[in-house]
């Protein structure tokens, strides 16, 4: 009987074991079972599929069956069952080890990619394995929900399935990092990131998604990822409620805080007098925030704070008296609004600046 090339080594000793077991009526020994498991492992490592190998074992049994006729069908089947089960166990064990190693390699690559910890040339070689070409610019979207997610989370699986169904084998990397969902896509494919943002928002029960700007090269992925993380942090500090944030729309805030000491001085000198107000500075700071968010329309700002217009305008007058700056005066408005943004970014008044 002719076997397919390359399979001989994985059936070595099988018929001998079968003949001996059927002749004596014994079960397979521990050493025999371990040898079969080892053959299964080596076959898996060589890339041979389990179905093909099981068929080969059954075909070998069928070819050898005439010499086993006196053993009885039950004894032959029991021996075949033991042998094939041990072989399959070894094959599956090798597959699981390979999958764990693959996942470990993928996780290491993702860590190196998002934190820029590897040689760029080596990183580019590894990136091609996962569908990324650093000759193109890439953008990174990060989704954060109320609860952390990992690669086995249902939300991750759902989004992965949805994106694969929608975009096929486009060069997209979907992963998780520090409890967040992360999508890396070519920078000129905004439809991919928009699709990810929509589905991630739904899958995380109303979480928030931030999208970094496109940047070239491996370092560009790190840059875009950090922009997305910074956007999420800014949204928390500034209480920005939009579900999808784009770093390009928030560039003014890093500019404002680039000179932290200057911003701290502005907050302290402009808003510091509000500490003298009854009840502390927070209610008046909330008043200014609502006023500026409402486009400096007192009636809308009062509605947002559940105040009467009269009570709201009284607060504005109180701010004017304490700070010397009139929120309704265009000459003072920019300074006050910048100071309010700075206070939210620096955590004032809870944190001293």
Quick: pLDDT tens for 65-101.
777 666 677 888 888 899 999 999 999 998 888 877 7
Q: How confident is the model at residue 2 (pLDDT cuts 50, 70, 90)?
A: very low
Position 76 scores a pLDDT of: 82
For the segment 333-344, the average pLDDT, to the nearest whole number, is 92
Position 69 scores a pLDDT of: 64
CA distance to 104, 131, 159, 177, 254, per residue, from 108 (Å): 6, 16, 22, 11, 30
Mean pLDDT of the chain: 88
Q: How confident is the model at residue 219 (pLDDT cuts 50, 70, 90)?
A: confident
CA distance 97 to 40: 13
Q: How confident is the model at residue 282 (pLDDT cuts 50, 70, 90)?
A: very high
Position 309 scores a pLDDT of: 94
Largest separation between any pair of C-alpha atoms in the chain: 109
Q: How confident is the model at residue 1 (pLDDT cuts 50, 70, 90)?
A: very low
Bridge-based pairing state of the strands 173-177 and 180-186: antiparallel
For the segment 326-346, the average pLDDT, to the nearest whole number, is 90
Position 223 scores a pLDDT of: 92
Position 265 scores a pLDDT of: 93
Q: Is the pTM of this model over 0.75?
A: no
């Amino acid at each position: 009987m002719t076997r397919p090339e390359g399979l001989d080594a994985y059936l070595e000793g099988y018929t001998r074991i079968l003949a001996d077991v059927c002749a004596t009526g014994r079960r397979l020994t521990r050493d025999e079972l371990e040898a079969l498991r080892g053959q299964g492992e080596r076959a898996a490592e060589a890339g041979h599929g389990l179905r093909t190998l099981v068929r080969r074992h059954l075909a070998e049994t069928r070819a050898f069956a005439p010499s086993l006729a006196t053993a009885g069908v039950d004894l032959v089947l029991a021996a075949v069952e033991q042998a094939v089960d041990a072989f399959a166990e070894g094959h599956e064990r090798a597959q699981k080890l390979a999958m764990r190693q693959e996942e470990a390699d993928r996780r290491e690559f993702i860590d190196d990619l998002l934190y820029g910890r590897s040689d760029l040339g080596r990183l580019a070689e590894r990136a091609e394995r996962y569908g990324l070409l650093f000759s193109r610019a890439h953008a990174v979207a990060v989704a954060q929900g109320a609860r952390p997610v990992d690669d086995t989370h249902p939300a991750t699986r759902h989004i992965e399935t949805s994106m694969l169904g929608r975009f096929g084998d486009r060069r997209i990397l979907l992963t998780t990092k520090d409890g967040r969902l992360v999508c890396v896509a070519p920078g000129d494919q905004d439809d991919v990131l928009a699709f990810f943002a929509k589905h991630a928002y739904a899958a995380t029960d109303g979480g928030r998604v931030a999208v970094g700007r496109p940047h070239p090269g491996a370092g560009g992925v790190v840059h875009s990822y950090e922009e997305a993380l910074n956007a999420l942090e800014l949204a928390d500090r500034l209480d920005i409620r939009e579900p999808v944030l784009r770093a390009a729309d928030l560039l003014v805030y890093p500019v404002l805080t680039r000179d932290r000491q200057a911003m701290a001085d502005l907050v302290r000198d402009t808003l510091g007098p509000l500490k003298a107000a009854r009840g502390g500075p927070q209610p008046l700071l909330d008043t200014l925030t609502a006023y500026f968010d409402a486009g400096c329309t007192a009636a809308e700002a009062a509605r947002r704070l559940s105040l009467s217009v009269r009570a709201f305008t009284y607060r504005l007058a109180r701010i004017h008296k304490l700070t010397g700056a009139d929120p309704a005066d265009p000459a003072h408005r920019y300074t006050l609004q910048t100071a309010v943004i700075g206070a939210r970014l620096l955590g004032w008044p809870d944190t001293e600046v």
